[in-house]
Amino acid sequence: DGGITQSPKYLFRKEGQNVTLSCEQNLNHDAMYWYRQDPGQGLRLIYYSQIVNDFQKGDIAEGYSVSREKKESFPLTVTSAQKNPTAFYLCASRDSSYEQYFGPGTRLTVT
Amino acid sequence: GEDVEQSLFLSVREGDSSVINCTYTDSSSTYLYWYKQEPGAGLQLLTYIFSNMDMKQDQRLTVLLNKKDKHLSLRIADTQTGDSAIYFCAEYGARTGNQFYFGTGTSLTVIP
């Protein structure tokens, strides 16, 4: 089956710890995206990558970092510098027809 | 960021039609999308329309685009309880660069 996987579905961390969220796709898409979703708000773009070894900041990149060493993988690290990290994180990829597909999401809770 | 606007809530009776509205920001946006999100899940692409089209129909879904007013709507015919979800519109185009901009989402509740 082709698709996007995110793991884990739920993640709990203590304040001050870095945490890495996994995103893998086997759709052979070049472009991948990370979004953050908070209650009552739309999706806000954290980082995106158009191609391997390249990525761009989105609207709310502060406190986050990414890497794109392989086409299939686009992990997101939430650092201790992110002031309000508790949120639902969504990874997506885009095909050449500009259709964007989403993973199931990871709910991160930081206490 | 960009402001793509949607009403927050909509309630309809089962069997009626639902119309979800969206006002987007960039008249040059090339693609306009509708996504569905069920609780605790990712977004599912329902349909999209190119900016050179006025209407697109796909089974129970009809998308209408008014480029002059930058208004996009999604009509769901014969709404079912399984249609209860949050619906997001999104735009993508020259001014947005390689980014998608999403509305705040409309929570649709279908009353049996």
Count of other CB atoms within 10 angstroms of residue B12: 17
Q: Which of B45, B88, B103 sits opposite A99 (nearest CB)?
A: B45
**Count of CB contacts below 8 A, A vs B?**
55
Chain B residues lying within 8 Å of A92, measured CB to CB: 42-43
- At residue B90, does pLDDT exceed 70? yes
Are B45 and A90 inside 8 Å of each other by CB? Answer: no
Closest Cα in chain A, distance from residue B80 (Å): 23
Determine which of A25, A45, A99 to mutate to test the interface with B (most B C-beta atoms within 10 Å): A45
Minimum Cα–Cα distance from B47: chain A residue: A99
Q: Say what the pLDDT of residue B2 is.
A: 57
Q: Enter the tokens of residue B43.
A: 């977004």
Count of other CB atoms within 10 angstroms of residue B111: 11
Q: Say what the pLDDT of residue A30 is.
A: 95
Nearest CA to B31 out of B86, B103, B89, B84 is that of: B89
Model confidence pLDDT, tens digit, residues B15-72: 999 999 999 887 777 899 999 999 989 999 999 999 888 999 999 999 999 988 989 9
Strand B106-111 to strand B9-13: parallel, antiparallel, or no bridges (unpaired)?
parallel
Chain B residues lying within 8 Å of A61, measured CB to CB: none
**What are the Cα distances from residue B12, in Å, to A7, B63, B85, B107?**
35, 18, 12, 11
Q: Enter the tokens of residue B8.
A: 């927050």
Determine which of A43, A55, A57 to mutate to test the interface with B (most B C-beta atoms within 10 Å): A43
Model confidence pLDDT, tens digit, residues A69-88: 999 999 999 999 999 999 99
- At residue B1, does pLDDT exceed 90? no
Nearest CA to A76 out of A58, A94, A101 is that of: A58
> Which residues in B7-105 belong to E strands, given as ranges?
9-13, 18-23, 29-37, 43-50, 55-58, 61-66, 71-76, 85-93, 101-102
Are A42 and B42 inside 8 Å of each other by CB? Answer: no
